[in-house]
A and B are shown apart, each in its own frame.
Chain A
Amino acid sequence: MNLVQEIDTIAQQNAARIVYDNLGTTNTYRDLKQRSDALAAQIDRLALADHAPIIVYGDQTFNTIVAMLACAKSGHAYIPVDRHSPAERLTMIEEISHAPLVIAINALPIALPGVQVIAPAALNLICQQVVPYSLTHPVNGDQIFYIIFTSGTTGKPKGVQISHDNLRSFVDWMVQDFGLPQHVVGLSQTAYSFDLSVMDLYPTLLLGGELQALDRETTGDFKRLFSALGNLKINFWVSTPSFADICLLAKTFDQAHYPQLTHFCFCGEELTASTARRLKQRFPQARIFNTYGPTETTVAVTAIEITDDILNRYDRLPIGYAKADTRVWVASTGADQSGEIMISGPTVSQGYLNAPDKTAQAFDPSDQYPAYHTGDVGVQTADGLLFFGGRMDFQIKMHGYRIELEEMNHYLNKQPQVHQGVIVPKYNHEHKVAALIAYVVTKTKQDLAQTNATLTETIKRALQTELMPYMMPQQFVYRDQLPLNMNGKVDIKALIKEVNPNG
């Protein structure tokens, strides 16, 4: 069945129920239907090219999900862009996607020439209207439902296209295999521009449930976070393990204080045994799921419940078994049976938006579903249990964010003071990236005359306009020269070794 149609029916059946609670400001399913109908009608009136994607610029507020749903109703894919992104990223996404329209939940930081904008004030007016809307052309089948931009290697982000059928398959799996109850109350904490948010958003809507939101201003400030956390009444927790680590700092984050919390679902980065163990001690009755999947295969394709037995058996936790209709295998290369993790199934994307070369590099076409080369290294047991073993390239995960080191190096080397620079991850004792260190050879000796702190300040300020905040190196180290490999390029591997002597 069509997902948009189903959400619309659920919204009518649950009209009086709360669908979104943003720190005490609540909206019902009636609001969701009325506003998304009015906005979809407005999008239809603009007569955009069929299926042209629409940028939705906002963050954890009700109108952001109204806008995403309105796009789907009017037959357009949406591209979520978080309002905390640098302005440059918005421009770049516009250049790649040629989106003819931006729905700005928050005021845009820059002008986008030639693009129509529904500004916040206009959006509020539209959302007040009651417009009967008949759902005649929602996104369906192979048509693209959303496009999420991830870090690319050359400084250009890649737009991963997820179709209606990709999303349908993923959401059905979540609803069927994780034992979520009707009218589940889910946490909405991850940015909508990060596909982990899809894990709570659509299953919750399909179950007629409620989302309780924590925005970045709240999660970024411990005092505010812990006071807001205490007011949450959620059953279904979705976040990166890093965010759970923050919450575990509060002693009151336990079953006694959150008796309704029954499900934890993790994705986006490695769940360490120590985080899972601490969580199990605090919430002995809750079910904890570790899941894995790249954005290119719709959020997650493998899952496993982390039980005491699993914790006792493994030091490095498994990432799970493939969902029933999906084939996940390891293209084995080494004697240790490890190799690249491959994924083929109904949630595998058709490829990157307007980037056929990049698509051809990463996806193998096949009769039924394409096979995606994850670039992740894994091992798999005979019965299909999968273990993660790192990356084949210089892509890293930091606090759940996917970062291509080559992309950051591209920006670093563009700076006028930099002759040569590379960014190197520093791993902590749990194999997680704890910090990024930039190694730089400056162009002229004169630059060295400045104090290093001033130079770092200057480079950081320039990088801020182009890099997402989480990509900013924590430390800058200046050298007269950097180690080179046989091809005369900076030997990143040698530097990684130098920074992580025990890794």
Chain B
Amino acid sequence: MDTKQTIIAILQDITGADVSDDLDQNIFDSGLVDSMATVEMLLELQDQCGIDVPISEFDRNQWNTPNKIIEKVASMQ
């Protein structure tokens, strides 16, 4: 799986929603991902994509759509 598919699968596991039809939706504003789900998402990204999110500087606005997450993860890999 490439990064994009991995991230879509992670979001599907956590939220039960398939986000692939709209990769620019704001996952926080819609309530799809709340603060606990954010934690699970970051844990899964660490495990499955091998990245380290600098959590003490975590800025939600840089991670608020599937496309931004894909871009962010790719830049960190």
Residues of the B chain whose Cβ atoms lie less than 8 Å from the Cβ of A474: 15-17, 31-34, 37
What per-residue 1/0 map shows which CB atoms of A38-70 lie under 8 Å from chain B?
000000000000000000000000000000000
| C-alpha gap A475/B27 in the complex (Å) | 11
Residues of the A chain whose Cβ atoms lie less than 8 Å from the Cβ of B56: 222-223, 226-227, 250
A435:B55 contact, CB within 8 angstroms: no
Known contacts A426-B15, A475-B15, A475-B17: does B36 contact A242 (CB below 8 Å)? yes
A122 on the B face (CB < 8 A): no
A residues 415-438 in Cβ contact with B at 8 Å:
426, 428-429, 434-435, 437
CB contact between B13 and one of A226, A248, A428, A475 (< 8 Å): that residue: A428
CB distance from B63 to the nearest CB of A (A): 11
CB contact between A399 and one of B13, B14, B36, B46 (< 8 Å): that residue: B36
A245:B39 contact, CB within 8 angstroms: yes
What per-residue 1/0 map shows which CB atoms of B42-72 lie under 8 Å from chain A?
1100100000110111100000000000000
Among all A-B residue pairs, the 6 with the closest Cβ atoms: A426-B16, A226-B56, A249-B55, A222-B58, A399-B36, A246-B39
CB distance from B24 to the nearest CB of A (A): 14
What per-residue 1/0 map shows which CB atoms of A438-482 lie under 8 Å from chain B?
000000000000000100000010000000000010110000000
Using C-beta atoms within 8 Å of the partner chain, give the interface range for chain B.
20 to 34
- What are 25 residue pairs bridging A and B, where the CB atoms are less than 8 Å apart in the complex? A222-B55, A222-B58, A226-B55, A226-B56, A227-B56, A245-B39, A246-B36, A248-B43, A249-B46, A249-B53, A251-B52, A426-B15, A426-B16, A428-B13, A428-B14, A434-B16, A435-B14, A437-B16, A474-B15, A474-B17, A474-B31, A474-B33, A475-B15, A475-B17, A475-B32
Residues of the B chain whose Cβ atoms lie less than 8 Å from the Cβ of A222: 55-56, 58
Interface majority SS (helix, strand, loop, mixed), chain B: helix
The interface size of chain A toward B, counting residues with CB under 8 Å, comes to 25
| C-alpha gap A181/B2 in the complex (Å) | 51
